[in-house]
């Protein structure tokens, strides 16, 4: 077991490099997000589109029945057309398809609004926010990376509003969640636990994935350190988390054991220590 409290990353990085890294990470995340969001939206768009085509046909059939009222000599003739078209089936199917399509569009609206929350550029402004709002929108955004591999268990307690830079904290959530998902090979559990400890809140991301050995653990905050195959990881995720959390006077602890899993725990001050107000 290892307990590695937040340390200076093993790097020559000064403030300027930190800023540069945050930008590179943003670029890397945008690609990752774009792929995930495209995948998430593709499914509802697919069935709403195919429903629309079938519903268009049903509507034409119904128009035929209604138009027959004007052209037919008797009510029996209208009834025959109605039966022929299988009105009862169409009526039910139309209702099901409308319900399904509304659900699909709602799903898309949810993804888009999560993305807006997530990407809202709030500059470097500290604000009092509900951490769960950011966490849930981040979860919807990275859902695609997680859902096939891991069950997400939430053990949330009541948290006060926390003074932080929300978009940056979302970025930390995202990196930890994606790392946890990547650490799980086939299927596993990611447990998110929160709590309050004096004047700080804490937030834990635990996975039952591959874990890390000593050698890996000692380098995780190093920019560009990655154990992922070329092209799959920039190795910037945790370096960025480090720099964001440092700005928040937060601390980050990690406990990991090969073959058992990894737990990252963040302690975040509820109020800014260096508050200017």
Ligand X SMILES: Nc1ncnc2c1ncn2[C@@H]1O[C@H](COP(=O)(O)OP(=O)(O)OP(=O)(O)O)[C@@H](O)[C@H]1O
Asked if 220 touches ligand X (CB under 6 A), the answer is yes
Asked if 179 touches Mg ion (CB under 5 A), the answer is yes
CA dihedral 190, 30, 169, 11 (to 10 degrees): 100
C-alpha–C-alpha distance, residues 27 and 8, integer Å: 24
Asked if 223 touches Mg ion (CB under 5 A), the answer is no
Q: 172 Cβ partners below 8 Å, 6+ apart?
A: 240, 241, 244, 245, 266
Helix axes 15-71, 75-84, angle to 10 degrees: 140
Choosing from 51, 167, 226, 243, the residue that interacts with ligand X (CB under 6 A) is: 226
CB closer to ligand X, 123 vs 229: 229
CB closer to Mg ion, 32 vs 68: 32
170 binds, among Mg ion, ligand X, none (CB under 5 to 8 A by kind): none
CB closer to ligand X, 93 vs 222: 222
What is the biggest distance separating any 2 CA atoms in the chain, rounded to whole angstroms?
Answer: 91
Asked if 171 touches Mg ion (CB under 5 A), the answer is no
Rg (CA), the chain: 26
Map the footprint of ligand X across residues 110-149, applying CB under 6 A. none
What track of x and - describes contact with Mg ion for positions 96 through 135 (by CB under 5 A)? Answer: ----------------------------------------
Choosing from 236, 252, 255, 268, the residue that interacts with ligand X (CB under 6 A) is: 236
Choosing from 237, 242, 264, 266, the residue that interacts with Mg ion (CB under 5 A) is: 237
Asked if 210 touches ligand X (CB under 6 A), the answer is yes
* Helix residue spans in the chain (DSSP H): 15-71, 75-84, 87-119, 131-146, 166-183, 214-217, 237-247
Query: CB–CB of 243/18 below 8 Å?
Result: yes
193 binds, among Mg ion, ligand X, none (CB under 5 to 8 A by kind): none
CA angle 71/75/79 to nearest 5° reads 95
| Binding-site ranges for Mg ion (CB under 5 A) | 179, 237
| Binding-site ranges for ligand X (CB under 6 A) | 28, 175, 179-180, 183, 207, 209-212, 216, 220, 225-228, 233-239, 262
């Amino acid at each position: 077991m290892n307990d590695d409290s937040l340390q200076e990353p093993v790097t020559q990085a000064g403030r300027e490099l930190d800023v540069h890294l945050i930008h590179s990470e943003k670029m890397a995340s945008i690609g990752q997000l774009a792929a995930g969001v495209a995948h998430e939206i593709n499914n509802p768009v697919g069935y709403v589109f195919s429903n629309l085509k079938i519903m268009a046909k049903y509507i034409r059939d119904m128009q035929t029945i209604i138009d027959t009222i004007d052209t037919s000599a008797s009510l029996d003739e209208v009834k025959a057309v109605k039966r022929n078209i299988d009105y009862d089936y169409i009526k039910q199917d139309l209702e099901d398809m409308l319900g399904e399509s509304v659900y699909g569009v709602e799903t898309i609206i949810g993804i888009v609004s999560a993305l807006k929350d997530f990407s809202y550029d709030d500059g470097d402004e500290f604000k009092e926010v509900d951490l769960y709002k950011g966490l849930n929108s981040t979860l919807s955004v990275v859902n695609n990376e997680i859902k096939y591999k891991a069950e997400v268990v939430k053990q949330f307690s009541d948290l006060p509003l926390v003074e932080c830079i929300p978009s940056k904290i979302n970025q930390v959530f995202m990196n930890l969640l994606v790392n946890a998902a990547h650490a799980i090979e086939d299927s596993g559990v990611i447990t998110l636990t929160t709590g309050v400890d004096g004047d700080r809140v804490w937030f834990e991301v635990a996975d039952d994935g591959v874990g890390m050995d000593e050698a890996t653990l000692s380098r995780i905050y190093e920019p560009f350190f990655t154990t992922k195959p070329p092209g799959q990881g920039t190795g910037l995720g945790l370096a960025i988390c480090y720099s964001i959390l440092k700005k928040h006077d937060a601390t980050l602890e990690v406990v990991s054991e090969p073959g058992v899993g990894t737990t990252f725990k963040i302690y975040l001050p509820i109020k800014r220590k260096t508050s200017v107000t």
